[in-house]
Homo-oligomer: A and B are copies of this chain.
């Protein structure tokens, strides 16, 4: 089967249903706009399982997503969407590019959630943009931008609480959104939510539990992803179904 789209960490395939796609998580890890690459066994499974847990939790709390159902160990059935080419970043603590941009040390808590917009364009290196660039490029309507930011703050509140219950500090994260193919006026959360798209620090030790382990060559990348999954399963499920982490070994 030929994918409709192949990105750095996922592939999208058509299904029998015109408004549904199959989204497959790859084992590839990339950083610095694709300049750094590696394969990690089980990465696709972990990120798929984490995304499912978090999408279910968000849906249960009233946040619409493109998630329809699971499709095996490394894939989901998702609603077909027109992806809005804006990456919305919500930050609670200084880290990564924000530390460089503002000249502040990593780890400083921000006075409140801080939102940044990035133009989703690999060829341009996903540059930071503002609301006026969004208007000029017609990436989204002004109403959609207001909506995306409100989504971001709401998801931040919910995820902060969920991760906190799992002993993890939500430092920052990236969201993507899409307009439903079946109803373009409806915008839903798309892409994934995983340690690839969230910075997560252990609440007690401050240890990085996310893709920064790969970006910064800290080692133990998949061990951290597995630990995040283990904690979230404990936090979010009541043991009614076999856990994804229990069925995987890191051997």
Q: Contact residues of A with B, CB < 8 Å?
A: 100-103, 110-112, 114-117, 119, 121, 123-124, 127-133, 135-137
Instruction: Tell me, rounded to whole Å, the shortest Cβ–Cβ distance linking A42 to chain B.
Output: 36
A-B contact pairs, 14 of them (CB 8 A): A101-B124, A102-B119, A102-B127, A102-B133, A102-B136, A103-B121, A103-B124, A110-B136, A111-B135, A114-B133, A116-B130, A128-B130, A130-B130, A130-B131
- Asked if B119 contacts A136 (CB within 8 A), the reply is no
A127 to B119, CA, bound (A): 16
Residues from chain B with Cβ under 8 Å of A116 in the complex: 130, 132
A124 to B104, CA, bound (A): 10
Mostly, the A contact residues are mixed
Instruction: Tell me, rounded to whole Å, the shortest Cβ–Cβ distance linking A133 to chain B.
Output: 6
- Asked if B114 contacts A102 (CB within 8 A), the reply is no
- Asked if B121 contacts A136 (CB within 8 A), the reply is no
A117 to B115, CA, bound (A): 15
A129 to B133, CA, bound (A): 13
- Asked if B103 contacts A123 (CB within 8 A), the reply is yes
Q: In the complex, what residue of chain B is closest to A98 when comparing beta carbons?
A: B133
Residues from chain B with Cβ under 8 Å of A110 in the complex: 136
Residues from chain B with Cβ under 8 Å of A133 in the complex: 101-102, 114
Instruction: Tell me, rounded to whole Å, the shortest Cβ–Cβ distance linking A80 to chain B.
Output: 27
A114 in contact with B136 given A128-B128, A130-B130 (CB within 8 Å): yes
Instruction: Tell me, rounded to whole Å, the shortest Cβ–Cβ distance linking A208 to chain B.
Output: 22
Q: In the complex, what residue of chain B is closest to A97 when comparing beta carbons?
A: B127
| Closest CB pairs A-B (n = 10) | A101-B127, A114-B132, A103-B124, A130-B130, A114-B136, A115-B132, A110-B136, A111-B136, A128-B128, A102-B137
Selected contact of A101 from candidates B111, B112, B129, CB within 8 Å? B129
Most buried by B among A119, A133, A135: A133
A114 to B131, CA, bound (A): 10
A129 to B117, CA, bound (A): 11
